[in-house]
Structures are given as C-alpha cells and as structure tokens.
Amino acid sequence: MTTKINLNHYLKFISIIAIALLTSCASKKDIVYFQDEPLTDGSELDNRFELSYKPNDILTIDVSALDPDAVRPFNLSNVMYSNTGGDINTSGLNANSNVIRQTYLVDPNGNIEFPVLGTLKVGGLTRAEVTEMLKVKLTDYVKDPIVNIRLINFTITVLGEVNRPGTYTVQDERISLSEALGLAGDLTIYGKRDNVFLIREVNGKKKYAKFDLTSVNVVNSPVYYLSQNDVVYVEPNGSRVRQASYNQTTGVIISAVATLATITAILLNNK
C-alpha cells in the first residue's frame, strides 16, 4: 500500500511539472502583434472614397491631343526593350516586348517635376483635381489636351490569421476591407473576427482603428475603404495562441517526462 501511495504522489508531481513547462512555453504577449497601440473606431480618420496623392506615390501621366507633336514635350520618352534582347522601336513591338513608362515620384513636400511646367504640387489632391490642374496649365501649349493619370504603387498589406498574408497591388485604386481580406484568401478559422486591426499613416503619423467583422455595421465604418499603404492585421484567437505554444521543444519535454514517469513506475513496482 505504501508503494502505491508513493507512486501516486510521484506521478502527480511529474504531471504538475509537465503542465508548468507547457504553460510557460508561450503566451499571448509572445504571439500577438501591435498589443500596446491605442485603438479607435476610425472616426478621426478622413476616408474619402477617391484617393488623394501622398509623398512616395508613383504616378504615370500621359498627355495626348489631336496634334501628337504638340504634346511630345510633355511625354518623356518611354524606354522600350525586347525580352529577347536588343533595342526596338514602336513599330517593332510584339508579345516579347516591354515598355517602361515614365513615372513621377511625389516628393516629401507633395511635389512632382513635370516637363516644361516644372514643379507641380499634387500632394493632397485627388486624380480629378490634378487632371484639371494639368489641363489648365497645358492649354497655353496644347489645344484640348487629354490627361490620363495612374497611381502604380497603390498597395495594401494583410497580415496575421489569413490564408495568404502579404502585400497586394491594387489596380483599381480603390479597395474595401472585404476585398482586401478576399485577396488574402479570407481569415483562417483561428482569426478573431471581432478584432481586425488597421494601421494608416496620415501626415507622417500612424493612426489605428479596429473592425468587428461579426457586425454588419462594419461596412459603415469610416475606414471600410482602405487607403494606399494601409496595413490590416487579423489577431489570432486563444486556440491559435495555445497551439503555437506546443512547439518542438514542448514535444521533447513531454516525451522526457513521460519516459521518466514510466521508468519510475517500473522501478517502484519491482520493489
């Protein structure tokens, strides 16, 4: 009877050690991103559906008119090359040819340098506003100019508990939260639907907001439509955090404790 009592006590002691080792492997603090940032409902963020240009945006601007010669000074020469090697001209373009379009980088002051017209302030303006500004300035040189502007580095980043985390380029220059999560393959089963986190830079400062996907009112959020360079983060739920704690080291510890308990039981039973 004494041997059995000692064995039971010993096994309980082994179990306590195993549980302590398991629970100390990882915690929410070790797993979850952006834990110490203040969250808002996004109401302080300006979220016009039409984007406005910011520093570090990269634009392509094409000017056309009935008279091609008149607009040539405003369209910097495009660099054209063939994938098979060698220079080509416009008439030689084919399926194996690429055209590198002239781009304009918005500087930290919101300006671009445009041919003939010089420095133009585009920061904070929408595409329609910049287009109208260029048309007005170009009328001194070109009759009935047509201006086409594209933002080519509109990207959003989706991180956390989604099936395809990463950075995505947005072709349409407008994307909603639902569309962004769709690009990332939707949330995994471990994603917290009521705590989706948004990071946005506004005038050089980081702003934060939170989405609750379990509420239909999420579509009415002032930040439901994302801005260029937004970051969306889906927090893992408790099950994923606990799962992450069961790493390879934990497996070794469990095996060692189990082996020790087995050896001890055999020795005690042989007494």
pLDDT at 4 over 90: no
Q: Is residue 112 part of a domain?
A: yes
Q: Which of the given ranges, 11-25, 69-83, 193-207, 251-265, has the highest pLDDT on average? A: 193-207
Domain count for the chain? 3
> Which CATH number is 174's domain given?
3.10.560.10
Q: Which of the given ranges, 28-37, 52-61, 87-96, has the highest pLDDT on average? A: 52-61
Q: Is residue 246 part of a domain?
A: no
Per-residue confidence band for 52, with pLDDT thresholds at 50, 70 and 90: confident
Domain end (from 107, 123, 151): 151
Q: Is residue 159 part of a domain?
A: yes
The residue ranking higher by pLDDT, 21 or 125, is 125
Segments forming the whole domain that contains residue 20: 2-27+251-269
Buried b (16+ CB within 10 A) or exposed e, 173-193: eebebebbbebbeebeebbbb
Beta bridge partners of 163: none
pLDDT computed for residue 89 by the predictor: 44
pLDDT computed for residue 47 by the predictor: 53
> Which CATH number is 121's domain given?
3.30.1950.10
Domain end (from 90, 121, 151): 151
pLDDT computed for residue 266 by the predictor: 67
- Are 39 and 113 part of one and the same domain? no
pLDDT computed for residue 41 by the predictor: 47
pLDDT at 106 over 90: yes
- Are 178 and 139 part of one and the same domain? no
Burial class (CB in 10 A: 0-12, 13-18, 19+), 133: middle
Model confidence over 119-157: pLDDT tens digits? 999 999 999 999 999 999 999 999 999 999 999 999 999
The residue ranking higher by pLDDT, 146 or 251, is 146
Q: Average pLDDT over the chain, rounded to whole?
A: 77
Section 195-207 average pLDDT: 86
